[in-house]
Structures are given as structure tokens and as C-alpha cells.
Amino acid sequence: MELPMSKNILSIVVLLIVFGGGIFLARWWYSPAKVEKKEDATVLLERIQNVSKLISVEGYFAEVYDYKDYKWYDLSFLSKKALIRVKAKVSAGYDMSQMKIDMSPDTKTVRISNLPQPSILSIDDDLDYYDVNEGMFNSFTPQDYTTLNQKAKEYVRAQAEKSGLVESARAQGNKMLEVIKLMGESMGWKVTVEYNSSPALSN
């Protein structure tokens, strides 16, 4: 009577080993696909980030800023004036620091949100003062020159905004989105874009 029971126990042990081995093989077989999805998502994310850093246009400006100030009355001995030649390189584009990219490897979708408005990012200027005239009771102080430097930069910014430089940056942004979408589609991903309160990259 003991022998058949031993055979039953042995059979149960063998079945458990086979069943456990099957589960292990199944997990091992399907795990590479998950790793591949993660690697695919990482590669696409790196490509999107590299493209987004390229959005920038530059414009070169040469302007003359005319400044005049007087006390009480516009008389020569009460007034001061200066002409300032401003040469500047203005960079316009997108501050991508607030942009968000969410990726779902399972559905192979990419959601880009919180796109910014194009704007002037930096002004690298060089000022040259000439035709500086001071009145007997109204002369330039170091603080005046600091203020003039700031006003000249603001003047260049205003001229750059009128020039269409920001719109050129917007056009480059549209091209960037098209590249990202095509890049995603070539890898089997769907890319959707969500703008902030106002359309950031639109014609």
C-alpha cells in the first residue's frame, strides 16, 4: 500500500516542477518585449529633446537712439542730450524649460504639452556714444549712463519685435513640430500636441 502512495507523491512533485518551469519560461519569453518598448521610448524621447533645443533665430540690428533731457525749460544750459549708436544681435525662439513630454510605451503615444509662446531670448548689444552735449546745470551722471544703456536695449527690443523676428521663430517652431511628428510616425508612435492658453506654435 505504501508504494502506490509514493508514486502519487512523485507524480505531484513532477507536475509542480513542470508547471513552475512553464511559468518561468513564459516570463522569460515575454520580458524582452517590455525592455524593447522602454528602449524604444527612451530613444524617441532623446530625439525629441534634441530637436526642441534647435529652435532659435537671430537678427542683427543697427539703430540710433536719440536721448534728450532738460530741467524746467528746453534751453541749452538746462538740457542734456546724446546720440547712441546701438549694434545688437537679437536671439528669438522658445524657452522649452516648461515644456512637458509624456510617453506611453503601451499605447505608443507621445503627448507634448505646455508649449510656450515664441519670444526674444537674449540681446547682445554694443553701444557707442557720440554727439554728447551737457548743459551748465544739467550733466550726465554714472546713473544716467546706466539708465541710457537700459533704455537703448529696450529700444532695440521694441524694434526687433516690430521686425517680424518673433514670427520667424514661430515658423521655425511649426517646422520643429512637423519633424517631431514625422519622427514619431516613422517609429510607429502617435504624437499629439497641447498648447498653453494661447496657441504657441501656429500660423
* Tally of domains in the chain: 1
Does residue 33 register a pLDDT over 50? no
pLDDT single digits (tens) 66-124: 877 777 666 666 677 888 888 999 999 888 877 888 888 888 888 888 888 888 988 99
Please check whether residue 5 lies inside any domain of the structure: no
Q: Which domain holds residue 77?
A: 38-195
Residues shown for the chain: 203
Does residue 47 register a pLDDT over 80? no
The pLDDT score that the predictor gives to residue 89 is 92
pLDDT single digits (tens) 130-176: 877 766 666 777 888 888 888 888 888 998 989 889 999 989 888 88
> When comparing pLDDT for 87 and 18, which is higher?
87
Q: Which residue, chain included where needed, has cell 498653453?
A: 196
End-to-end CA distance of the chain: 89
Mean per-residue pLDDT, 28-41 = 56
Query: Could you tell me the three cell numbers for 58?
Result: 537671430
Number of other CB atoms surrounding residue 88 within 10 Å: 22
- Of all residues in the chain, what percent are helix, strand and coil, respectively (each to 5)? 50, 30, 20
pLDDT single digits (tens) 168-193: 998 988 888 888 888 888 888 888 88
Please check whether residue 18 lies inside any domain of the structure: no
Please check whether residue 180 lies inside any domain of the structure: yes
DSSP for residue 17: H
Percent of the chain with pLDDT over 70: 68
